[in-house]
Structure 1
Amino acid sequence: MRYAGKIVLVTGARRGVGRLLAEHFLKEGAQVIGFSRHADDDLAAEGYTPIAVDVGDADSVARGFEQVRKTFGRVDIVINNAAVLTSQYSMIMPPAAARGMLETNLFGTFLVSREAAKLMRKGKWGRIINIGSMAASLEPIGDSVYAATKAAVATLANVMAKEFAPLNITCNTLGITAIETDMLGQLPRDKVDAVIAGLPMPRYATADDIFNVVDFFASERSSYVTAQTVFLGGVN
């Protein structure tokens, strides 16, 4: 039980990679808090606490963390996974869609990370892990705003790593490649296949690929690993 006694918060835990990560931490003995916009989270598992939070809304995030503080008193590991994706050429991208990606993917990561650090500083221990994307490095056509937000998330983590280091809090980013999720289903499969075919390791990611790096970042032994971005599949 790798995470027995740990309090883990996963954003975007209702589906996709967030759901996979929530289930992984539960299986490994953690108490897991799931932030998602909707309260009707159907993950009925012992040790799981869903909280309705819109990570792009500062007041909503503050209320969510107040509930975490009152219920658990602390948080040990935070996974910033919540993200939205609209893949469209820049000239026809609806401004509302672009703003939505900025608010959820970047501003949401900022809000959750800083509130988490406020709780973590009391125990002088914490792990903040961001779920990034290969898009930040590959810069695919149609993903201008999404790729920009994911690149910014890694930079955000690197600066926060310096700010939080005296508190024994690390901040790192995992850049994942395509994995079978609802988000992937929004994209033309032929275009995704073409991107994957161009990778040094041309295959789709598996859940275990993601767990492997997340477990490394979250480990007690990784206290000297911070401000790092690890891309899957040979992306650099």
Structure 2
Amino acid sequence: FGKIDICLNNAGAASMNHILTTSYESAKRLVDVNFLGAFLLSREAAKAMISNKISNKNSVKSGVIINFSSVAAPLCLEGEAIYAASKAACESLTKTMAKELASYSIRVNAIALTPVQTDLIKAVPKDKIKALLEQQAIKRFGEFDDIINVIDFFISQKSDFITGQIITLGGVLR
């Protein structure tokens, strides 16, 4: 279509390791995928969104960047130190980018996912997943429709005054 209106940073990698057994290589991979990947894609998408706005002055539609985080960040899950830290960095990036890009009519928000039955969690022990779900207000797995509903909300022009927000699916009880 010749332009970018929406950027979804939904790539993610996870690794369950105690901090004492986490290798440098594993930590670097998690930070590269979960944080640096979101940063790099957001930066380039924002440049394209700004360029489109400058070349099409009649366009009032804003650009939207949505980052994907995890309940692992606010819950500080044991065995997920680097994963949680990389997602917390992504949340901080979301809030700072929201401030930096607002003057260009680019909104930046994030979705913190609860466990969804995908390949990402299939190796996680069932008792760990159950304990995580018990820390949520709504004690169930997330569904793809739950995620799509939040994306639809964030990209809607009815949400053009919302930026720098993180919606945590399931409601984390801290």
TM exceeds 0.5? yes
**What is the CA deviation profile of residues 163-187 of structure 1, one whole-angstrom value per residue up to 9, with x for unaligned ones?**
1111110000100100110001121
- In the alignment, is residue 82 of structure 1 matched against residue 19 of structure 2? no
1:221 matched residue in structure 2: 158
- The code of the aligned residue for 1:164 comes to L
- In the alignment, is residue 98 of structure 1 matched against residue 35 of structure 2? no
Root-mean-square deviation (Å): 1.1
- In the alignment, is residue 155 of structure 1 matched against residue 89 of structure 2? no
| Alignment partners' CA distance in 2, 1:197 and 1:153 | 25
Percent identical: 41
Q: TM-score, normalised by structure 2?
A: 0.91
The higher-RCO structure (CA 8 Å, 6+ apart) is: 2
1:115 matched residue in structure 2: 44
Matches within 5 A, 1:106-145: 106-124=35-53, 125-145=62-82
| Alignment partners' CA distance in 1, 2:11 and 2:142 | 18
How many residues were matched structurally? Answer: 165
**What is the CA deviation profile of residues 3-32 of structure 1, one whole-angstrom value per residue up to 9, with x for unaligned ones?**
xxxxxxxxxxxxxxxxxxxxxxxxxxxxxx
Shift of 1:200: 1.4
2:146 matched residue in structure 1: 209
SS in 2 for 1:78: strand
| Alignment partners' CA distance in 2, 1:177 and 1:161 | 23
| Alignment partners' CA distance in 2, 1:73 and 1:231 | 33
Checking the alignment, whether the CA contact within 8 Å between 2:35 and 2:87 is kept in structure 1 is yes
Shift of 1:159: 0.6
2:112 matched residue in structure 1: 175
Specify every segment of 5 or more residues in structure 1 that has no aligned partner in the other structure, as ranges. Answer: 1-71
Shift of 1:95: 1.1
2:58 matched residue in structure 1: none
Specify every segment of 5 or more residues in structure 2 that has no aligned partner in the other structure, as ranges. Answer: 54-61
| Superposed structure 1 runs of 4+ greater than 2 Å apart | 122-125
